[in-house]
Amino acid sequence: MREELIISGRMNPMIDPQLNIWHWHIPLYLFLGGLAAGILFFAALYTIQGKEKLYPAAVKRAPFITPFILVIGLLALLLDLNNKPYFWQLYTTLRLESPMSWGAWTLMVVTPISFIWCALNIREIFPSFDWKYGWLKWLESFFTKYKIAMSWVLLIFSVILGIYTGILFSAFNARPLWNTSILGPLFLASGLSTGAACIMLVSRSHAERIMFSKIDIVLIGIELFLITHMFMGFLASTQVQIDAAGLFLGGPYTAVFWVLVVFIGMILPAILEVLEINRFRVPVLIPGLLVLFGGLMFRFVIAYAGQASRWLY
C-alpha cells in the first residue's frame, strides 16, 4: 500500500484558513439573486403572454420583494469584499472571461428594472397612491407604454442572472466540485423553483397556487435530474472530480446535502405539492418555506464543499 504524507511548511496557521475565502455572503447572495431571477422571470413571462389578470401574484405582488432581496444581496456582496472602498472598479470594465464581471453588469440591468416594475404596480399594494409630481407621472406612463419591451429585457436578463449564479462557481477549475458547467442550469432551475415557491406564498388565489405548484414540481424534477447527471459526470471524470463527488457520497457533506437539500428541500415539498394538486388540504406555507430553505441550503453546501475540494499534488 502506498501512503502519502504531506507536511506543509508554510509554517503559519493563518494562511490556510484564509484560503476558505468565501463565507456566508456569497451563498446568501447567490440564493437571493436566484430567487429574484425566478420571481422576475415569471413576472416578465406572464406579462408578455398577457396573463396579468390570471396570475396577479406572479406579475404584480411577488415582484415587490425583489428590489429588497436584490439590495440585501448586493450588500452581502459588498461586505464580502476585502477592499470595499474600491467596489466601483467593477463598473470600469466589462470582462467576458470573468463571470463576476458580467454578473455585476447583469445586476446593474436587473436591479433598476425591478424597482421600475414595483413602481408601476404600486397601486396593487396602496390603491390610492399618487405620484404627486408631473415628471414622475410622465415616467410612469412612459414605462407603462414600453412594458412589453421591458418584459422581454427582463425575461432574458433574469435567465442570465439565474445561470450566472451557477457559472460564477463553475469558472473555477481549481475547485473540482464547482468545475462543471451543469451548475449553470442547475442553479437556474433552483432559482426558478424558489421563485415559484415565493409566488405560491404571496398568492391569494387557489388556481394560481395550484398552477405554481405544478410548475414547481416540474422544476424540482429538473433539479433532481440535473443533480443525478452532475454525479454521473463526476464519477466518470478524473480523480479530483471523483474525490469531489465523494464529499457528498460518504464524505463530510453527505448528510447535510441529501437530507437538508435533496429530501427536505426538494422531494418533501414536491410530495406535498402533488398532494395539494390532488385536493388534499396542505397549508401552502409548508412546501413554500421548504423549497426556500432547500434553495438556501443548496447554495451554502455547494459554496462550502466546493472550497473544500481541490487538486492534490
List residues binding other proteins (CB under 8 A). 1-12, 14-16, 18-19, 21-22, 80-87, 89-90, 92-93, 95, 97-101, 104, 171-175, 238, 307, 310-311, 313
3-state secondary structure of 238: coil
- When the beta carbons of 82 and 128 are compared against other proteins, the nearer one is 82
Nearest-5° Cα angle at 103, 116 to 185? 100
Residue 239 φ then ψ, to 5°: -55, -40
* Identity of residue 25: H
Element (H, E) at 112: helix 99-120
Cβ closest to other proteins, residue 107 vs residue 282 = 107
Which lies closer to other proteins via its Cβ, residue 43 or residue 110? 110
CB-nearer residue toward other proteins: 5 or 255: 5
Q: Concatenate the DSSP letters of all residues of 154-197 into one string.
A: HHHHHHHHHHHHHHHHHT-TTSTTT--TTHHHHHHHHHHHHHHH
Shorter beta-carbon distance to other proteins: residue 18 or 141: 18
Least distance between other proteins and beta carbon 89 (Å) = 4
**Mind giving me the DSSP string for 255-304?**
HIIIIIIIIIIIIHHHHHHHHHHTT----THHHHHHHHHHHHHHHHHHHH
| Closer of 108 and 207 to other proteins (Cβ) | 108
Rg, C-alpha atoms of the chain: 21
Instruction: Give every CB contact of residue 202 below 8 A, 6+ residues apart in sequence.
Output: 57, 61, 62, 65
Smallest distance, Å, CB 115 to other proteins?
Answer: 24
To other proteins, the closest distance from the beta carbon of 159 in angstroms equals: 21
Find the shortest distance in angstroms from Cβ 11 to other proteins: 7
* Shortest distance in whole angstroms from residue 24 CB to other proteins: 13
Give Dmax over CA atoms of the chain in angstroms: 81
CA distance 61 to 300: 28
Nearer to other proteins, 46 or 304 (CB): 304
Q: Minimal distance in Å, beta carbon 73 to other proteins?
A: 14
Minimum gap (Å) between residue 306 Cβ and other proteins:
8
